[in-house]
């Protein structure tokens, strides 16, 4: 009852009726759900307070009514504290302001004039708070809208279960973020811009990467990815999208600096690796087809690629058509254990053995298959095992040859100069190890 007694000191002459109005006014301040003060409603209320002067009387009887109403206010404060995270400190400060007026308030009609003055002050405070709150809300709304601009580009997640056997076209969201990568395919026309006449790209390397793998991409740029400086080679990093705004901002800065990121319309995850490969095919088919590069290498950001040896391989097979080269996997069986990361439901693939496929860490495609492979991927039942799906199931239906190449190791090997020079691709390389392998690759030591 400390609250009630403090208020009683200020308003000992107020009648029950008037006290009810006053505490309803406080209740109005406390219970505004949206924290937007309705100034017009407050002004009307103050007018009602002024109209009660003809019924105000002096007497101590109001104290008991004040106790009851103050008890109600305390309950209301507790409710608002629970439901609306109400700022109790602000309430305490306001009540303290009321208590400070007790030294100027007098018994009788004089208290009414003081109440009027305080009502006027409250009205001014409400107007100020209303202005500040609206301003803050407007600023906050603008900030949220800016943050959501990127997420507006994210596709709506479709309520489908790939394990039930869903055609890929019902899952895949076409298109890419609107970056200008004219430098990656200089022969192509981008958005009406005139193409730059340069030699046809011999090799386009797509490095599939996760949004957060900044160090891995930088290590590649500083080592074997440096071959992108050649006019007949392009290197791009293929990513999905992240729901982490900090990562998205860093990716914007990265692409502004290097201009080599290609972003598909899917959330980057293991289950969406197939979507990432399809996104690569779509980007080539739509943006790099005038003409297409002679060969496309799809690889991961934990790979070391011996680019000079790969170029020699391409020169020897430059006339080959409808072919995928890599480390061939034969007679692999789908895993039916639902607890496995690699589980394949019978509704996704019913046969007991997969078609031959080239393993995912690195494989080389002749460019003549890009369009047909992209279109056929969209028609087939989705499977998250991207190498099995793309280079196995879909390629077999298109009669695309899959050829085993020993130099595609796609595994980790001892780090010595001779091992690295003999291989086209080496797997499971950490960012700091890229630098070490690059130095050993450049070593002029003789090999047997």
pLDDT for 264-288, tens place per residue? Answer: 999 999 999 999 999 999 999 998 8
pLDDT for 379-427, tens place per residue? Answer: 999 999 999 999 999 999 999 999 999 999 988 888 888 889 999 999 9
Look at residue 168 and tell me whether its pLDDT is greater than 70.
yes
pLDDT of the residue at 32: 45
Instruction: Identify the residue with better confidence: 368 or 117.
Output: 368
Average predicted confidence (pLDDT) for the chain: 75
What is d(CA 423, CA 327) in angstroms, rounded to the nearest whole number?
Answer: 12
Look at residue 95 and tell me whether its pLDDT is greater than 70.
no
pTM, full prediction: 0.65
Domains of the chain and CATH, by start: 2-148 (no CATH), 162-441 (3.90.550.50)
């Amino acid at each position: 009852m400390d609250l009630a007694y403090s208020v009683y000191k200020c308003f000992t002459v107020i009648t029950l009726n008037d006290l009810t109005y006053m505490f309803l006014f406080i209740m109005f301040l406390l219970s505004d759900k949206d924290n937007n003060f309705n100034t017009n409603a407050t002004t009307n209320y103050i007018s009602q307070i002024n109209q009660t002067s003809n019924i105000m009387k002096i007497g101590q009887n109001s104290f008991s009514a004040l106790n009851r109403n103050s008890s109600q206010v305390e309950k209301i404060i507790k409710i608002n504290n629970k439901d609306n995270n109400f700022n109790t400190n602000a309430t305490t400060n306001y009540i303290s302001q009321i208590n400070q007026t007790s030294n100027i308030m007098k018994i009788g009609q004089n208290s009414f004039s003081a109440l009027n003055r305080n009502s006027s002050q409250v009205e001014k405070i409400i107007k100020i708070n209303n202005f500040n709150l609206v301003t803050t809300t407007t600023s906050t709304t603008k900030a949220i809208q800016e943050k959501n601009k990127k997420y507006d580009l994210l596709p709506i997640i479709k309520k489908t279960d790939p394990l039930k056997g869903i055609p890929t076209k019902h899952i895949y969201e076409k298109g890419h973020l609107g970056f200008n990568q004219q430098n990656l395919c200089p022969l192509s026309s981008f958005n009406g811009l005139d193409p730059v006449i340069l030699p046809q790209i011999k090799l386009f390397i797509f490095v599939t990467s996760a949004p957060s793998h900044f160090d891995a991409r930088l290590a590649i740029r500083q080592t074997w990815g440096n071959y992108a400086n050649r006019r007949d080679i392009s290197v791009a990093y293929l990513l999905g999208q992240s729901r982490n705004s900090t990562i998205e901002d860093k990716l914007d800065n990265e692409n502004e600096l290097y201009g080599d990121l290609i972003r598909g319309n899917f959330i980057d995850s293991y289950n969406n690796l197939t979507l990432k490969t399809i996104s690569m095919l779509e980007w080539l088919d739509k943006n790099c087809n005038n003409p297409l590069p002679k060969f496309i290498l799809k690889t991961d950001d934990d790979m070391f690629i011996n680019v000079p040896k790969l170029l020699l391989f391409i020169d020897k097979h430059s006339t080959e058509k409808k072919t995928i080269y890599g480390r061939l996997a034969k007679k692999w069986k789908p895993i039916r254990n639902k607890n496995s990361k690699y589980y394949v439901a019978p509704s996704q693939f019913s046969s007991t053995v997969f078609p031959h496929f080239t393993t995912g860490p690195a494989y080389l495609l002749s460019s003549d298959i890009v369009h047909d492979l992209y279109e056929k991927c969209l028609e087939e039942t989705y499977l998250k095992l991207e190498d099995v799906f793309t280079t196995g199931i879909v390629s077999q239906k298109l009669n695309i040859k899959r050829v085993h190449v020993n130099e595609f190791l796609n595994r980790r090997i001892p780090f010595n100069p001779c091992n690295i020079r003999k291989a086209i691709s080496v797997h499971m390389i950490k960012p700091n190890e890229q630098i070490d392998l690059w130095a050993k690759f450049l070593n002029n030591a003789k090999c047997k």
